[in-house]
Amino acid sequence: LVANLIEKAGATRMITLDLHAPQIQGFFDIPIDHLNAVRLLSNYFSSHHIDEDLVVVSPDHGGVTRARKMADRLKAPIAIFDKP
């Protein structure tokens, strides 16, 4: 439904960031450019020397893999929230 609304609104191309499932791209009939936030953000933090007292936090268990990749790239510790 959302894909149809975006296309009906006139979008001819879409940029996404960290889709929860790659299959989501299949709902669109327009080209999708999927960006990886881990690479973009870790490069930004590193190039701006934002690395002092840095901790990468995952908001839930579903985000742990992504947060761990970010923490590894930044050589930072990781914290994980455990939602009930």
Backbone angles phi, psi at 74, to 5 degrees: -95, 0
CB 70 within 8 A of CB 44: no
Active site residue 83: yes
Active-site residue, selected from the candidate residues 8, 69, 75, 83: 83
State the Cα–Cα distance between residues 70 and 46, nearest whole angstrom: 11
Distance of CA 55 to the CA centre of its chain: 17
Point out the residues that are catalytic.
83
